[in-house]
Chains A and B, each alone.
Chain A
Amino acid sequence: MKNRIAAITAVLAIALPALAGSGGGPAPQFTLTARDGRAVSLAQYHGQVVMINFWASWCGPCRQEMPLLDSIYRKYHKLGFTLLGVNVEPDSKAADDWLKDRPVSFPILYDKESKVSKLYDVAGMPSTVIIDRSGKLRTLHQGFKPGDENEYLDSIRSLIRE
């Protein structure tokens, strides 16, 4: 009986929603087509800190986040950091139209068949993962609220120093 109660208490403690889980484990590899037509794969960036942002033009918080991601990219991309914006829409027209209005300087990749979204188990929009220099998944962040960019910056700074 006591074991059961202890188990239920432990389970309830585990059940509390966690915002940023620590991943652990290698980041799944993939190759996608970029906006300019060339093939881009995650393997190209081995040795750098990679941030992957899953976004869609129809998602409000995603659109809100883009300019902040752009400034993070501009600041750190010469220090061994890169940002990949993975667009999850099956039809890229809406995303292209939006990017014409609000261009960003980091690479945009199209995941039209949701292959990479499934690989990374995307459970919310937007989703941001940060991969360290050795290719390990280090942070998973779901959703976006103003102020979250500070968490990104903290993770990026500590991972760049590794």
Chain B
Amino acid sequence: MQLTGEARGARTRCAAGLSPFTRTLVTLCALAAPALGGVLPEDRADVLWHVYKGGDITIQGPSVLVRKKVGDNLSLSANYYEDMISSASIDVKLSASPYHETRRQESLGADYLHGKSTYSAGFITSKEPDYKANTSYFAVSQDMFGDLTTVTLGYRRGWDRVYKDQRNSVTGQVEHVPLPSNNGLNQASADHRGYSLSLSQVLTRNAILGFNYELLTDQGYLANPYRQIRYLSPGHGQGFTPADQVYPNTRTSSAASAQLKYYLPYRAALTGKYRFFHDTWGILAHTVELDYAHPVGKHWTFDGSLRYYRQGAADFYSDLFPRANYQNFMARDRELAAFHSYTVGAGGSWQFAMPGVPSLGKNSINVRVDHLLVDYSDFRNALLAGTYGAGNEPLYELNANIFQVFVSIWF
């Protein structure tokens, strides 16, 4: 802490007759800079088309975002998103038949700026034939210490309705059927609560650090109603018998991440990220990511990224249980398995200025491709049980390609 400026002398002079303790407090205040105010996000519109292709699933759709300031202190945003799913995944092939469905998601958000604080609130609603989710969130963000530091506190709440759909073999109609482990009921609910704390700190002229902590708790029906566990049953069918998954009805998870962004002198940005995750289901995960953004000339920017993700299995997960009702909680959902995942991504962006609209030429057309490889350590390809024997099938490996093309306009 430094004392600066005779210009601030007027304030410290009035403290001359006080004790050392009080004088220190007053000096701290004498350094008070006038309120500067944070900055609201800029007005923009983005239109994206996304495609995911892998593991015999194709999911594609649009995502449209519009953000506009209303007055000087309020910024409103709206997003429309769709996932059009065509699935014949390994899980679907094992226990169901290929399906098509569309998930639609709409969200609205508002950011209100008052001095150095930004108050944000929003609502997200997601609808698909067998799942309805509503989420609301609220956050407060505060700039401090000469605007070098920003602290954000967030809270979110989600309410979900879970169903299981099946095509009636008699009528041919798709209808809700009882969910497994749900006392024969057609409908279940899941509630979510989240608390987050983030901090962003300018370290030097060229480096900024971001830190994020998030605590999430879930309660209710948390299982995937379409997936099943299997247990060893020699002599029966393929050597195993499918059965309902049984999940705990609560889950609490904690995640902490750090992100460092560094500006390279020839104009490029290098980002390093790490995230640690653990939860009450026994899952432990590490995420490491490296990103590089390299502008070329006035119009082009190229991005590259590498992501490594490693996860340990949930306590109640197993690819093949030794027998029926082996333990009170059982799952074979591959999202809870032990695996390593590698993602390589590259993107290109072409920036242009709208003729007649003065801007810094930030409007852009962007293309991005990512390749995802997931290497499971304890999830096997059960479709090959006949050839290899239950429990000896090769470990499953997922390869997927993700493609994005989007246009961004600033106004």
Interface residues of A (CB under 8 A from B): 3-4, 7-8, 10-11, 14-15, 17-21, 23-25, 60-61, 98, 101-102, 121, 123-124, 137, 140, 142-143, 145-147
C-alpha spacing A97/B25, complex, angstroms: 46
User: Are B22's CB and A11's CB within 8 A?
Assistant: yes
A8 contacts B25, CB within 8 Å? Answer: yes
Contact with A along B40-59 (1 / 0, CB 8 A): 00100000000000000000
Cβ B26 vs Cβ A101 within 8 A: no
Distance A10 CA – B13 CA, assembled complex (angstroms): 13
Some 20 contacts from A to B, beta carbons below 8 A apart, are A4-B19, A7-B18, A10-B26, A15-B32, A17-B32, A17-B115, A18-B32, A21-B34, A23-B7, A24-B7, A25-B7, A102-B358, A121-B4, A121-B5, A123-B34, A123-B36, A124-B34, A124-B36, A143-B36, A145-B72
Q: List A contacts of B26 (CB < 8 A).
A: 7, 10-11, 14
Identify the closest chain B residue to A25 (Cβ): B7
CA distance A124 to B115 in the complex (A): 13
Closest partner residue, chain A, to B71 (CB atom): A146
**Which B residues are closer than 8 A to A by beta carbons?**
4-7, 10-11, 14-15, 18-19, 21-22, 25-26, 29-30, 32-37, 39, 42, 72, 115, 146-147, 358, 360
Contact partners of B35 in chain A: CB under 8 A: 17-19
Verify A101–B358 contact, CB threshold 8 A.
yes
Contacts of B39 in A (CB 8 A): 60-61
How far, in Å, is A21 (CB) from chain B's closest CB?
A: 6
CA distance A102 to B26 in the complex (A): 45
User: Which residues of chain B come closer than 8 Å to A124, judged between CB atoms?
Assistant: 33-34, 36, 147
Asked if A11 and B25 make an inter-chain contact with CB atoms under 8 angstroms apart, the answer reads: yes
Complex CA gap A162/B203 in Å reads 45
Are A123 and B33 CB-contacts (below 8 A) given A25-B6, A25-B7?
yes
Q: Residues of B contacting A140 with CB < 8 Å? A: 34
Chain A neighbourhood of B146, CB < 8 A? 123
6 tightest A-B CB contacts, nearest first: A17-B35, A7-B22, A15-B29, A124-B36, A123-B33, A14-B29
The residues of A that contact B25 with a CB separation of less than 8 Å are: 7-8, 11
Q: Determine if B19 and A24 form an interchain contact, defined as CB atoms under 8 angstroms apart.
A: no
Point out the residues of chain A lying under 8 angstroms from B19, CB to CB.
3-4, 7
Chain A residues lying within 8 Å of B10, measured Cβ to Cβ, are 24
A14 to B15, CA, bound (A): 11
Chain B residues near A7: list those with CB within 8 A.
15, 18-19, 22, 25-26
